Amino acid sequence: MRSRRGRRAVSVCALAATMAGCSVGPDFHPPKPPEVTRYTNPPPPAETASADVPGGGSQRLVEGRDVPAEWWGLFRCEALDALVRRALSDSPRLVQVQAKLSHAQQDLVARRGATQIPKIDAGLSANRVDVSSGSFENTPQVPVQLFPLSLYAATVRVSYTLDLFGKSRRELEALRATVEYEQFEVEAARLMLAGNVVTTAIEEASLREQVEATGEIISLEARALEIVERLEQIGGVPRLDVVNQRAEIARTRGTLPVLERRLERHRLAVYLGALPGEAELPEIRLADIRLPDELPVSLPSELARRRPDIRAAEALLHEASARVGVATASLYPQITLSGTAGSLTTAIGNLLSGGTGFALLGASLAQPLFHGGQLRAEKRAAVAAYEQAGGAYREVVLEGFRDVADTLSALDADARSLHERAEASSLARSAFEIASKRYDAGGVSLLEKLDAERLMRSASLEQIDAVADRLADSAALFQALGGGWWAEPEDRTVAAQAPPPPAP
């Protein structure tokens, strides 16, 4: 009998858990992507300018092609590939965002268990009561005595709150949106980290070659200074020429510490999760990094689904929409069903009586009547938060399209700039070769030859900077287009998206 009554209480609450009610508040629909067919007006050229130097090849924009997941591999540099993989494996930044994702997943699992499944609690109590013999009827006229009476109760309580107006469902919807937000934050962090490693490695390679070129220019200017000083001693040049030459070499030497400071590898070490003083980092040259011949360019209509920051903003908008539903449902009644089944057993002295089973079913209703305007104010606040999230989403979309447009413009402009700088470097080299031949023939002085060589080195320095700009532009385009996270291996993507089961 006791087991049937207990099962009846559980069955009633389980049936209540299956009752479907309406969900008040707005139903979320993902925003439609912008209906555009181009990133810039006018569209960028399908192929960039080229220069006859290493890293100066033309690049072709391939519209409609997705960015690969491991986009850094397009630079065809094994050392760079190893740096990115090491950063993705060891960076403490990724540990943080992945832990936040796990936290959000467990919050969802906990709330789902608290709202979708009836609560079942077991209880056991024991009480000792001293009962007077005079409390019993038909008791012989004997002196009043106290009899010890022990009461034992074993109960199982089941309760469930009916989600008639969808408050719990909206809360779960908001938590699922939070999980989605953290998932895209993980992808955005991975994309940002990979991009930072690539651009930092490119910058370091450029700075390393700029330091070398600057050192060569300083050596040439020092030799020129020696010649000018000797000429000044014999009266061949005025004192002003010596002062100007010294000022020139001081100016050039002043740029060297700046380049060397920028070349410090502390930032790259931190990206890789290593201490700056202990990191073992390869020295990559610009010639080791190949310029991608083809640049995949996703369709503008797909950009909003490709960039993780836009998808994260959409998830926040979804969460804000669900919070409006939660605040709206709080204005309506809340019904809770409960059932209790158990057994009572008594013991008098050393005698134990048989147990008595019981079952209780109940329901409670809570209707907000007067909260000083709190609930309606909370709803208005939720609506305002939703409008704010909508504005933030639109801003992120606009910024995403601006990133792509700026990068496409930079690709074209920097390709043309490299073309001109390569031409200037070629002309400066030709001038140096002519000056060298004339010097060998006695037609010009050593000072003129050194000056021609200095101009050639300076032009080469500008060319190095232009090559690095093109490589960095290519990496920036891959980042602006979303980095290909959607093409990640299925096992990693599913592991990031599926909430782990609750611990037993």
DSSP 380-426: HHHHHHHHHHHHHHHHHHHHHHHHHHHHHHHHHHHHHHHHHHHHHHH
Give 299-350 pLDDT, tens digit per residue.
999 999 999 999 999 999 999 999 999 988 888 888 877 777 777 676 655 4
| Mean pLDDT score, 282-287 | 93
Does residue 496 or residue 171 have the better pLDDT?
Answer: 171
Total-model pTM: 0.83
Average pLDDT of the chain is: 84
pLDDT (0 to 100) of residue 489: 61
Work out the pLDDT band at 149, boundaries 50, 70, 90.
Answer: low
pLDDT exceeds 90 at position 286: yes
Work out the pLDDT band at 13, boundaries 50, 70, 90.
Answer: very low
Least confident of 39-48, 111-120, 219-228, 303-312: 111-120
Residue 167: how many CB atoms within 10 A of its CB?
Answer: 24
Contact of 414 with 471, CB cutoff 8 Å: no
Domains observed in the chain: 27-119+164-331+374-497 (1.20.1600.10)
Please name which of 130, 263, 125 lies closest in space to residue 206, comparing C-alpha atoms. Answer: 263
> Which residue is it, tokens 């385009």?
477
Beta bridge pairs of residue 126:
152
Instruction: Name, of 8-22, 144-158, 451-465, 480-494, the range with top average pLDDT.
Output: 451-465
pLDDT exceeds 50 at position 19: no
Q: In angstroms, what is the C-alpha Rg of the chain?
A: 38
pLDDT exceeds 50 at position 214: yes
Structure tokens at 11: 């069955």
pLDDT (0 to 100) of residue 114: 78
Give 371-390 pLDDT, tens digit per residue.
778 888 989 999 999 999 99
Does residue 489 or residue 203 have the better pLDDT?
Answer: 203
> Which residue is it, tokens 């001038």?
431
Please name which of 200, 130, 226, 277 lies closest in space to residue 471, comparing C-alpha atoms. Answer: 200
Instruction: Find all residues with CB under 8 Å of 180, minimum gap 6, and list them.
Output: 311, 315, 318
Q: What amino acid is encoded at 64 in this protein?
A: G
Q: What angle do CA 501, 494, 98 make, to 5 degrees?
A: 75
| Mean pLDDT score, 206-211 | 94
What is the percentage of the chain residues whose pLDDT exceeds 70?
A: 85
From residue 406, give the alpha-carbon distance in Å to each of 381, 397, 473. 37, 14, 10
* Preceding omega of 44 cis (within 30 degrees of 0): no
Q: How far apart are CA 169 and CA 380, in angstroms?
A: 20
pLDDT (0 to 100) of residue 121: 76
pLDDT exceeds 60 at position 1: no
Contact of 158 with 123, CB cutoff 8 Å: no
pLDDT (0 to 100) of residue 106: 93
Work out the pLDDT band at 442, boundaries 50, 70, 90.
Answer: confident
Work out the pLDDT band at 438, boundaries 50, 70, 90.
Answer: confident
Does residue 432 or residue 130 have the better pLDDT?
Answer: 432
Please name which of 283, 271, 280 lies closest in space to residue 207, comparing C-alpha atoms. Answer: 283
pLDDT exceeds 80 at position 471: yes
Does residue 218 or residue 14 have the better pLDDT?
Answer: 218
Q: How far apart are CA 374 and CA 327, in angstroms?
A: 10
Kind plus residue range of the DSSP H or E element containing 156: strand 146-162
pLDDT (0 to 100) of residue 24: 85
Give 67-85 pLDDT, tens digit per residue.
999 999 999 999 999 999 9
Structure tokens at 185: 């934050």
